[in-house]
Amino acid sequence: MRVFIIFLFIIISYGENLDITKYVTNTIPKIIVEQTNVPTKLLRMLNKDSKLLTHYNVIFKTQIKDRNQTDNYGEYNYLLQIKYTKNSLTAKLKNLISNKVVLYKRYKIPNFNTYPFMIHSLSYDINEKLGYGKAKWIKSKLVYAVSTAPKESSIFLSDVTLTYRKKIISGGLNIFPKWANPTQTEIYYTKLENRPVLYKYNIFTGQKSRIFSSNGMLIVSDVKKDNLLLTLAIDDQPDIYKYNLKTKKLQRITKYPGIDVNGQFYGDNDIVFISDRLGYPNVYQKNLLTNSISRVIFNGKNHISVTTHKDNVVVSSRETNKAFGDNTFNLLLVNRNNNIVKRLTFGGKNILPTFSQSGDTILFIKKMRFNSQLGIIRLKENKIFYFKLSKRMQSFDF
């Protein structure tokens, strides 16, 4: 439906102002919005979502200055009529060229505070009906851990824009939340008691079950059906382990007498992980059938985190070596089928990248001096969006 040409990387920061680097693009579909009793917060979220998805523009009827245009929508492609009643939104999307209704749906939420998820669902449907595919990531729930006091960390639930936020686990040191299933009903997380304990927690019922405990480090780094990739330090040195939830079998994957951490599933028979086998942290790949190990990326000499999707790997790489002051960590994208490395960020501390299920979007943490920003990279669209968090985000999953 469009050809999108970008000459420069676009960076958008949400707030009262949008800072946009110059870009060139042809016209994308315009949607004129007629609303009835819709709270301003919902309209603002609808506008933000259109910018996040980048595939269409929404223009609200109240924004039209020329009164003669209020009944003549000739310059617009679609008409969106939305009506709000208590915790419910009815939406009707009409193609003004064909005069056909392409979407008619009612969205419900349990309480008003969860309105971002309702708007994200509407935006997802609009994006799909306009022919741009299923942007499931925009409906995803985010779980993240933040430090709340010395030796205390809480886990929060939010939407991908950090607009909705709810504390779900508190008391003590609760770290490294990871979704346990694609439906996002349960999470794994580590709680530091007398020693680290891995728990499974249902975000809807509050039910918590203990998986197991271990000496030293205990982190779930990736989940694939009934298999967990763990970083464990049973013998004081961290290694990668695989744990099967059905058989309760714990299998050691790496046995290097150094540091092996952050294992990620990579296709059917491989994993990638961070190791200091050359005296500095780098990304390695191990085949679980042949046990062969090889380097994945040769750019940089200090990789601190990695994420995978199909043949793609994104790594956070330190690019400066300052003894005093802040160092720069940027995200690099590499495909296993070629040696091309694409830089995704430019400057700052960009860490903990995480692919969406579809692989077209990456979330990451941008560390600031006193707080954090959640970054969203739209790979095909070459855009980055930032959402501020007043506290330091320790880790997240979505």
pTM for the whole structure: 0.89
Can you tell me the distance from the alpha carbon of 29 to that of 162, in angstroms, rounded to the nearest whole number?
27
pLDDT digits (tens, 9 = 90+) for 242-273: 999 999 999 999 999 999 999 999 988 999 99
Mean pLDDT value of segment 301-315: 93
pLDDT digits (tens, 9 = 90+) for 379-388: 999 999 999 9
| 143 in the same domain as 189 | yes
Which pLDDT value is given to residue 245?
95
| 40 in the same domain as 176 | no
| 148 in the same domain as 129 | no
| 328 in the same domain as 215 | yes
120: enclosing H helix or E strand: helix 115-129
Of the ranges 52-61, 118-127, 318-327, 363-372, which one carries the lowest mean pLDDT score? 318-327
**Is the pLDDT assigned to residue 170 strictly greater than 50?**
yes
Which pLDDT value is given to residue 65?
61
**Is the pLDDT assigned to residue 79 strictly greater than 70?**
yes
Asked if the structure places residue 7 within a domain, the reply is: no
| 90 in the same domain as 144 | no
| 104 in the same domain as 242 | no
Asked if the structure places residue 39 within a domain, the reply is: yes
Asked if the structure places residue 8 within a domain, the reply is: no
| 114 in the same domain as 176 | no
Percent of the chain with pLDDT over 70: 91
Q: Taking a C-beta distance cutoff of 8 angstroms, is the pair 208, 201 a contact?
A: yes
pLDDT digits (tens, 9 = 90+) for 7-32: 223 333 333 322 333 333 458 999 99
pLDDT digits (tens, 9 = 90+) for 96-122: 999 999 999 999 999 999 999 999 999
Instruction: Please say which residue of 81, 109, 136 terminates a domain.
Output: 136
Q: How confident is the model at residue 370 (pLDDT cuts 50, 70, 90)?
A: confident
Instruction: Please say which residue of 116, 136, 156 terminates a domain.
Output: 136
**Domain harbouring 62, CATH code:** 3.40.50.10070
Number of helical H runs and strand E runs in the chain: 2, 30
- Domain limits for position 107: 27-136
Of the ranges 15-29, 191-205, 313-327, which one carries the lowest mean pLDDT score? 15-29
Mean pLDDT value of segment 282-307: 92
| 365 in the same domain as 321 | yes
Distance linking the first and last C-alpha atoms of the chain: 29
Instruction: Please say which residue of 136, 161, 182 terminates a domain.
Output: 136
**Is the pLDDT assigned to residue 5 strictly greater than 50?**
no
The residue type at 341: V
Which pLDDT value is given to residue 322?
78
**Domain harbouring 354, CATH code:** 2.120.10.30
**Mean predicted lDDT score pLDDT of the chain:** 90
Q: Say if strands 361-367 and 349-355 run parallel, antiparallel, or are unpaired.
A: antiparallel
Asked if the structure places residue 13 within a domain, the reply is: no
Angle at CA 132, nearest 5°, toward 77 and 37? 55
CA 146 → CA 127, 177, 252, 261, 387, distances in Å? 32, 11, 30, 21, 15
Which pLDDT value is given to residue 366?
96
Mean pLDDT value of segment 284-312: 92
Asked if the structure places residue 237 within a domain, the reply is: yes
Which pLDDT value is given to residue 69?
54
Scan for tokens 């040696």, then name that residue: 339
| 162 in the same domain as 282 | yes
Asked if the structure places residue 10 within a domain, the reply is: no
Structural domain count of the chain? 2
**Is the pLDDT assigned to residue 369 strictly greater than 90?**
no
| 120 in the same domain as 64 | yes
Asked if the structure places residue 21 within a domain, the reply is: no
| 213 in the same domain as 85 | no
| 344 in the same domain as 232 | yes
